[in-house]
Amino acid sequence: MLLKDLFERLEELYPEMVRVRRELHMNPELSFQEKHTPEFIAAYQRELGLEVQTGVGGNGVVAKIEGGKPGKTIAFRADFDALPINEENDVPYRSKVPGVMHACGHDAHTAIVLGLSKALMDVKDQLEGNVVFIHQHAEELNPGGAKAMIEDGCLEGVDCIYALHMENYFPIGKIIYSNDYILAASDEFEIEVIGRGGHGAFPHDTVDPIVITSQLVCNLQQIVSRRVDPMHSAVLSVGSFHAGKAHNVIPDKAVLKGTIRTFDSEVRDLMERELERITSHTCQAAGAKYEFHYERGYPATRNHLEETQLLVESAKEVVPVEDIVSIPPNMGGEDFSYFLEKVPGSYFFIGSANEEKGFVYPYHHPKFDIDEQALLIGAKTYAAVAMRYLMKNPR
């Protein structure tokens, strides 16, 4: 009966969740530059009567509901930073900030958690345990906000944690999960190849960094195809190649930038090691020097089986069982992985696409938008997870 009451309350709160999501959408803030957003979140949670901490790990906000009965503590993470993208949607709630937009659904994640907070406060005295809401800044930009928030104590007393993400690769009404890895570790590299420039008409007097770096791009692809066990996964992608400015001048330097995605820690180590080895040998063979920079980003996001199965059972309260979809891992990255390294939990997706309404663009696209019914599905799923977890694990 309690869950039914929560669902009814969330349906009443749905217009407010939409309003909150649109307010945040119109006022996006970049990673590590968030000011208005955490202030808005903290004010909302305080008005509801939650215990609120601000400035957690930087710009993070943590709010807590203490239930009327003893029990365990479940946490829900909602990120709230935006992206440096100029919005192209023609909607009343279009971003008011030139060059910045919520193109990844973080506005929706926050609205879901705030709606859930309000609904749970109505049944606070009946809760067998506590609920913590971790409003995280700077998910989009390494080193991210999660690690700093954890170091600042946001997981103190937390027994398990969940996070959801809008997903326009699936239609509205779907809930998508994975029992193990769901997202990859995300690293980046920069290689500067240092040659000797000169006139384009006299290449024999130069050490041409463009030719050497072009060869390097090809050589690097052999790491995945010939050095990584084919039973494991890895991606190496070069995303930037810059050299020279004139048509008839061979430059002194060329710069490569790229990303590496892996799941297994040993493969991650191998990729870094082989990347520099091949760079060194390629440059040495051509008489060039190099500078090598490798930065480790977020670790792989690996769900915990028991908590994921609890999610699946809870999702059955929200959508038909055939709309709960198990997926293989993908090569995206998320700093929610840091939370899952500390406490058990699960990260999952909520289908948010609607072809009839034109909500078909993927995240990080200037026309990204969602079917806002995903807010209600996400909030109900969280509510079902909270009730199932707290009632299953009384102290």
Query: Would you name the residues annotated as active-site residues?
Result: 81, 139
**Contact criterion met (CB below 8 Å) for 256 and 213:** yes
CA distances from 86 to 67, 95, 245, 387 (A): 42, 8, 28, 40
The residues pairing with 56 across neighbouring beta strands, listed in sequence order, are 60
Burial of 111 (0-12, 13-18, 19+ CB in 10 A): buried
The answer to whether 108 touches 375, Cβ cutoff 8 Å, is yes
Q: How far are the Cα atoms of 68, 211, 326 from residue 132, in angstroms, in the given order?
A: 14, 55, 27
- Tokens encoding 43: 């004010």
Q: Tell me, what amino acid is at 389?
A: Y
With CA atoms as reference, report the closest residue to 210 among 195, 190, 225, 220. Answer: 195
Whether the CB-CB separation of 134 and 41 falls below 8 Å is answered with: no
Question: In terms of DSSP H, where are the helices of the chain?
Answer: 2-26, 36-48, 106-122, 146-151, 209-222, 265-286, 305-315, 336-342, 373-392
